[in-house]
Amino acid sequence: MPVSLTTLRDLKQRGEKFAMITCYDAIFAQAMNQSGVECLLIGDSLGMVLQGHDSTLPVSMADMVYHTHCVARGNSQSFIVADMPFMSYATVNDALKNAGDLMQAGAHAVKLEGGGWLADTVTQMARCGIPACVHMGLTPQSVNVFGGYKVQGRSAEAAAKMVEDARRLEQAGAALLLLECVPTPVAKQVTEAVGIPVIGIGAGPHCDGQVLVLHDLLGMYQGKPARFAKNYLQGRDSVKDALTAYVQEVKSGAYPAPEHGFSQ
């Protein structure tokens, strides 16, 4: 049976960790299915790793729809989340139209970057049958506001706001949360504060699931790798073995190790 939101909620309740990897095409979707990856993310990181841009901002809805079709054709087992690109959810109407297009391309949920201010959007999506994952912490579409890819939620005020926003989004009907580059203790607080599954990247070992960009997991870094990146191809002789090793390390809790996370 393919993984569903119910599966992910059950895993959280049982304290079992699950794995997500970014996926942009059909053959990797198949390989990830065979390696037992619960969730595939069509990430707007494709603007950087596939298209060669220096941020995710140039990615269009047409790009995301195309790659979602590609992944959906290869997939039979995993839960598919598609990123909503920069400016595709600036108004509730735009968000509903564009999320609908991604669902029709084969996504099972969509992901938006932001915080409590997305509550209204998330509620309207849920009404229409669109599960929403809210990406909080380091939200790369706001790199020009942050002034770089920096850890978020380090101050006590920012940490408390993140917990409050997480609760508000759960109340509004969010299906999932994703925390990027958040101090390990803050991510733990958020994960314990909500009943919905929380996926982390650079957010420590206490999140319910972990996500990595495919290229980072295969050691194909552009410049200096982020702290949370780990090359699973090292010491292994196939891509399939690397994907399987990542899934096993997420499930056992071996990944992320302390050196992959941030202190408060």
What are the catalytic residues? 180
Binding to ligand MHF in span 83-122, by CB under 6 A: none
CA distance 194 to 135: 14
CA distance 227 to 153: 17
- Strands 18-22 and 79-83, by their bridges, are unpaired
Residue 114 has what DSSP assignment? Answer: -
53 binds ligand MHF (CB under 6 A): no
Give the type of residue at 205: P
Binding to ligand KIV in span 178-237, by CB under 6 A: 178, 180, 201, 211, 213
Tokens of 150: 């920096």
Contact 261, 184 (CB under 8 A): yes
Residue 232 CB, shortest distance to ligand MHF, in Å, is 14
Best CA proximity match to 107, nearest among 99, 119, 115: 99
Site pattern 83..112 for ligand KIV (x: CB under 6 A): x-----------------------------
User: From the list ligand MHF, Mg ion, ligand KIV, none, which binds 217 (C-beta under 5 to 8 Å, kind-based)?
Assistant: none
Size, binding site for ligand MHF by CB under 6 A:
15
CA distance 37 to 98: 26
Please identify, using beta-carbon distances, which residue of 31 and 178 lies nearer to ligand KIV. Answer: 178
43 binds Mg ion (CB under 5 A): yes
Query: Is there a binding annotation on residue 83?
Result: yes
Contact 59, 141 (CB under 8 A): no
Residue 139 CB, shortest distance to ligand KIV, in Å, is 9
Contact 176, 191 (CB under 8 A): no
44 binds ligand KIV (CB under 6 A): yes
CA distance 219 to 216: 5
- Residue positions in the annotated binding site for 3-methyl-2-oxobutanoate? 44-45, 83, 111
Task: Give the interface with ligand MHF as residue ranges (CB under 6 A).
Answer: 45, 48-49, 56, 138, 140, 149-151, 181, 213, 215-216, 226-227
Task: Give the interface with ligand KIV as residue ranges (CB under 6 A).
Answer: 22, 41, 43-45, 83, 135, 178, 180, 201, 211, 213
